[in-house]
Amino acid sequence: MTSTKTSKEAIPLNYFTPKAYIQSDASSGLLSTRQGKRLIAVPAILLNSIQTTLLSEAGEAASMAFYTFGSGWGKSFYERTHQEIEAYYQVPISQMNATEYFATLQELWGVHGLGKIKVDFSYAKLGLLLVTIENSGISKITTEVNSKSFSLEAGLLSGWFSAQCHQDLTAQATDWHEQTDQTQYLIGARTQIEVIAEQAIAKGIKTSEILTNILQSDT
């Protein structure tokens, strides 16, 4: 992406603005995108029921199933939406103004009920992305799981950024606050994230301390 300096040319209305993106047909009972692709509103009670059932049937393996499902979803989600974004703005995502891209990404997450996303590229030189999700629509279904390491949301982020960066990336929850409904994730190469999980997360070390330690060891 280009610098955050705003283009002098007028920026088109955000593609994912809810009033424009979500189309409702009361006569047929269908929701669709502005491209005519069907949307389904999934109630939280259904997601919670899926979680409860899978935990009961698969035990600890359920968390990996959530992650794997999320990863596949994230990749297909990116492939669909990035085509729509590039067609609408008539520019590859890699060449989009950074301010415009992040605004689009936040609208995309919000219009699908996935919460508010913030992506911090400050640690990209270390091979890491720091992603914060507030008011997630899917992380709540994993609150009863002992570890959020392998969750639906972690898998979604892994799949999305793997597809965007054309790399095999892994996402790991590194901090979460139920009172503020906020979860932070570090995303990077599988081996790097596994080391972080073993040496930090397993010991209760959270995001800020993890990053501080990595920066210190890199100097």
Judged by average pLDDT, the poorest of 17-21, 104-108, 158-162, 177-181 is 177-181
What does the alpha-carbon distance between residue 142 and residue 160 come to, in Å, rounded to a whole number? Answer: 19
Q: pTM of the predicted model, to two decimals?
A: 0.87
* Percentage of residues of the chain with pLDDT beyond 90: 51
Residue 46 pLDDT class (50, 70, 90 cuts) = confident
Judged by average pLDDT, the poorest of 48-57, 101-110, 159-168 is 48-57
Highest-pLDDT range among 60-64, 78-82, 142-146, 149-153: 78-82
Q: Tell which residue, 141, 151, 191, has the closest CA to residue 174.
A: 151
Non-local CB neighbours of 160 within 8 Å, separated by 6+ positions: 74, 75, 77, 78
Q: Tell which residue, 84, 102, 132, 120, has the closest CA to residue 1.
A: 102
Task: Give me the pLDDT at residue 5, please.
Answer: 46
What does the alpha-carbon distance between residue 183 and residue 185 come to, in Å, rounded to a whole number? Answer: 7
Residue 3 pLDDT class (50, 70, 90 cuts) = very low
Over residues 71-100, the pLDDT tens digits come to 999 999 999 999 999 999 899 988 988 888
Task: Give me the pLDDT at residue 219, please.
Answer: 66
Task: Give me the pLDDT at residue 119, please.
Answer: 94
Crossing angle for the helix pair 98-111 and 61-89, to the nearest 10 degrees = 130
DSSP-derived 3-state class of residue 189: strand
Residue 217 pLDDT class (50, 70, 90 cuts) = confident
Over residues 106-117, the pLDDT tens digits come to 999 999 999 999
Q: Tell which residue, 136, 181, 133, has the closest CA to residue 161.
A: 133
- Residue ranges per structural domain of the chain: 18-218
Residue 101 pLDDT class (50, 70, 90 cuts) = confident
- Asked if residues 173 and 148 have their Cβ atoms less than 8 Å apart, the reply is yes
Task: Give me the pLDDT at residue 49, please.
Answer: 86
- Asked if residues 96 and 184 have their Cβ atoms less than 8 Å apart, the reply is no
Taking the CA atoms of the chain, what radius of gyration do you get in angstroms? Answer: 18
DSSP-derived 3-state class of residue 83: helix
Query: H or E segment at 175?
Result: strand 169-177
Kindly report the average pLDDT of the chain as a whole number: 86
| CATH dotted code for 18-218 | 3.30.1380
Task: Give me the pLDDT at residue 190, please.
Answer: 94
What does the alpha-carbon distance between residue 66 and residue 154 come to, in Å, rounded to a whole number? Answer: 9
